[in-house]
Structure 1
């Protein structure tokens, strides 16, 4: 088995014939011959698909196909290329992130688990692919991706804040039993990570779940076809959680363009397995990034310039309202000020549909503040965040779900938010 590596005489933004040998590892990517997108460059997005189509190299395959939603094949016009090859600097940063030691804090007397992120990924993958008779899940892992804020941090030229370490494992949930197998595989991994000297005799998967799992979500929706699960490891305030998401199909994978990035890790791990040399500017793997927003360069431009853009927020649980106000308080600005006013109404409507009463709104908002505003330095931001949230809801909420969105300790009704 060989690893395709970039050399100095070959641009990192080009996929040539040597990389076609990776098709067995990355068979879900189909890139036409004119693809020369470099993840390291930041250029303003094209004014419109029609204006860029005339300059696009003609090819019998005029679209980029991707299965980032793990099962739903989507075809995107060349004017909106959603894939890009990472530059050396991005690969270096990615390798550093994957080599960092993460701490999974346990409740009670359970010890803190210390493990490199790349080792955790390898262990979970082995448990998933191990046959059932040997204690594994007996599943096929189609790909593994870095997702969310951490992916944005890797791709951005400036350090980007991120709250969790988000990873996506592409799997198939053909039966409901596979959800239980995934959970068992993760808990078995935690068991193997217990430090030496810890008595394992009375430790069960149930006790491991109570000690190390902060959140567990299972989605098996026959109506819209969504099939995925989430296991969040760690639940200690002020520490980053490891979010393990196992996805068969998921219709909506992003809130805004700046959090739409996914980085396929398979070639990086193949490089780790096959190459004895460290990553250098002369020798590093070809790693592909994707923007599930649709246009990689446009999304990267938004990230670098701190711009807000989304579409159909009514598809997002909670409408993306809380994230939108978080971007505003961190000095992000809408790409289109007129259009965002229309989208704000959809954000508010969806939020109040998903959280229709004061108790669910209180729980949701308090959890968001706790997870996204850390330490005394960000206390002033919390106040400004609530002001922004109040203003958006006050001006954009449709009356049918016009209800408070912050705890009763802050307000009694929409018309008196934050009043004392």
Structure 2
């Protein structure tokens, strides 16, 4: 049976970035109707399709403690693709709403932000937001970073997943208490199963949701004795369904030299959501050399190295000594990194393998030596029940 014309148009428009749809609203009544907040069916469809598209933008900010604010920049991966974006009003909100306002995480077009006293979910395109109930831990320890995760389930992208991991009692415990934010009830609910994370601190600013589990990598700091099973860095998984924990060892090559002061390791999603090669990749930066492995067999923890290259050998032509200030793997196949002056991209697979490009210059001073990337793709996804328009904004 042929698809009705209106359904065909809806299907086509549902694959467009939210920024483009909002531009069309001014000149087209049909676009104004389908992208309105009341059209939950189309908004959910467009948001779900965005999970299958590449993120084409990113935020860049100093990698400071959450309680500290600072400058936030927004960039496109390619100057040829600027159809996606965030509204001017959103950046005005971040700048003027409260002191120390910063972005903690981004997923499917929604931003998790934190000011000095509260958390909030925000859609930078629709300029809507939803304050999140302030966790008791944040009230008790306002200067601490929250171990919080924002993500979406590709199979059911209707609501976002927001997890909070808390230390219970003294720091000597190897278990974290888990809370899940209920979008419908607008409150934090305790999860019965605790998260066993081992003997090291985990990095909650980078995680991978894969096989219905949240994966985190530990730090590299040489804080434990060689007799400890957690002497070297590792990855820990927390299964959302039953709350079970599992440790995944990183490759032997990655463990060697991991206590070096220049060593940094992060994990990211590898491959596309619709491809069979979807997995987890491990990125290590040590002494200006990037090495990347892909988890080839999840069950037995077998890794495959896909790249090892010195930063200068990629094609960076800066005259001074090159110092990498931050990096991320976007869209499962592209390494993005920043130096003290610019941001660059380096292809990791298929036709873009080892393809180097300069993305842009950034505006951070050279004394800001630790930058944080946050990938972004604009959608019409609602922030949740009772979401309202951003306060104190200047309309576009």
Q: Same fold (TM over 0.5)?
A: no
TM-score, normalised relative to structure 2: 0.27
Q: Which has the higher helix share?
A: 1
Determine which structure has more spread, i.e. the larger CA radius of gyration.
Answer: 1
Q: Which has the higher contact order (CA 8 A, sep 6+)?
A: 2
Q: Which has the higher strand share?
A: 2
